[in-house]
Structure 1
Amino acid sequence: MTKRNKIIYWVATLWLALGMTATGIVQLMQSKDETDRMSHLGYPIYLLTLLGIWKLLGVITVLIPRFPLLKEWAYAGFFFAMSGALFSHFAANDSAKDFFGPALLIVLTVTSWYFRPTERKLINV
């Protein structure tokens, strides 16, 4: 792995971890703004707890060494959650600013996944 690719991986991964940790904690706190947002999108409030826990577990999985199969599941979960958020905001006719967070997290997820080191991949090619 080149030094450039290693830098890209760690920058994307750390920003992804920060974003997922922050949103996971906010979802677990279930503030009025967050519960209102979920209601606006048409989802039950209990989904916040589930998403928050999954995001925090996903961050731990992506950051720790080994467990490549679990990492694939974490990256897939991040992608599904954020693409679902994008689609939900689209379906609710939300403004463009509501698309920024999920779109950025999708880009960081794909970048981190693509540039991950060989030892963090399921199949070492």
Structure 2
Amino acid sequence: MTKRNKIIYWIATLWLALGMTSTGIVQLLRIKQEQDFTANLGYPDYFLTILGTWKLLGVVAILVPRSPLIKEWAYAGFFFAMSGAAFSHILSGTTKEIFPCLLLLALTITSWYFRPADRKLIPVNQ
């Protein structure tokens, strides 16, 4: 892995971890504004607990150096959560609020793509 790719990976991964941690905590704390926001998208209140829990567990999974299979699942979960959030905004007409989930989606893809070989399920010679 080149130094450039390693820098890209760590910047994307740390920003992704920060974004997922902060939103996960807000969801677990059930901040009123977040509850209203989620209700406006048509989701039940308990959905915040599910999302918040899985986001925090996903952050741990992508930062810990072991378990490539769990990392793959965490990246997949982040991808589905953020792409689902983007589509929810589009379908509910709240496209002004779409940027944060698109940013986290882009960070998820970037972190996944540039991850080092020892963090991949099947290491590829680079």
Could you say which TM-score interval applies, normalised by the shorter chain? over 0.9
State the match for 2:67 in structure 1.
Answer: 67
Quick one: distance in 2 between partners of 1:101 and 1:18?
Answer: 12
| Separation in structure 2 between the aligned mates of residue 99 and residue 9 of structure 1, nearest angstrom | 24
Tell me if 1:103 matches 2:68.
Answer: no
Which residue identity is paired with 2:122?
I
CA-to-aligned-CA distance 1:2-54 (integer Å, 9 cap, x gap): 00000000000000000000000000011110110111010000010000000
Code of the residue aligned with 2:102 in structure 1: it is A
**Aligned residue in 2 for 1:120:** 119
Q: What residue identity is the alignment partner of 1:59?
A: V
Residue by residue over 1:64-115, the C-alpha shift from the partner in whole angstroms, topping out at 9 and shown as x without a partner, is 011000000000000000000000011110133x110000000000000000
Aligned-pair RMSD on alpha carbons? 0.6
Classify the secondary structure of the residue corresponding to 2:95.
coil
Q: Distance in 2 between matches of 1:83 and 1:95?
A: 13
Gaps of 5+ in 2: none
Identity of aligned residues (%): 68
User: Counterparts of 2:104 and 2:39 in 1: how far apart (Å)?
Assistant: 22
Specify the code of the residue in structure 1 equivalent to 2:29.
M
Q: Normalized against structure 2, the TM-score is what?
A: 0.97
